[in-house]
Amino acid sequence: MNSRCFFMSHFSKGEQDFDSICLSTYRTACKLRFIQKRCNLHLIDIYNVIEAVRDAGLNAVELNAGISVTRLENLVSSLFNQLSKRLPTTHIINPQESTVLLVEFILGAVDCEPESRLTVLSVKAMLSILCGGKLVDKLRCECQSLFHMLTSNIT
């Protein structure tokens, strides 16, 4: 089965009518929120994302370097496995399903053009934007990544 078909079949279960929202910015925000909740990313905060990125060794890699699908799957899987350990027993998630959905979404979002490739920066940006937490913390994380990339290119 095509990965895009698999992705769309899993996300269409919620049958949302986003086209009825007139303003495109609101429509986009609603779609991203739906994906965030469907993948259980709203339960993961930015600090857990930073920790998982460090554990995966992606903080020491160039931001414009490519990342393999296997490494992406391991990163996302560790995020959801850690989340399932922290959640109370009354709130159960399926880490495997969340991992598959999020990896398929990331790959589908990046694989729009034939020459496109998955980079460390794009993965960090997507995870930090879609995770839960305060906006100021997310922006701080993104600005530090961009500042690091700019200063490493100067020297």
Overall number of domains in the chain? 1
At 30-61, the pLDDT tens digits run 888 888 999 999 999 998 998 999 999 988 88
Cβ neighbours, 10 Å, residue 77: 18
The range of the structural domain enclosing residue 58 comes to 3-154
Kindly state the average pLDDT of the residues 70-97.
90
Q: CA 8: distance to chain centroid?
A: 16
Q: Is the sign of the CA dihedral 49, 52, 56, 59 positive or negative?
A: positive
- Domain of 114: which CATH number? 1.10.238.10
- Structure tokens belonging to residue 16: 């949302």
Matching residue, tokens 């020491």: 60
pLDDT given at position 1 = 42
150 pLDDT band, cuts 50/70/90, is: low
At 105-142, the pLDDT tens digits run 999 888 766 666 888 888 988 998 899 888 888 887 76
pLDDT given at position 112 = 60
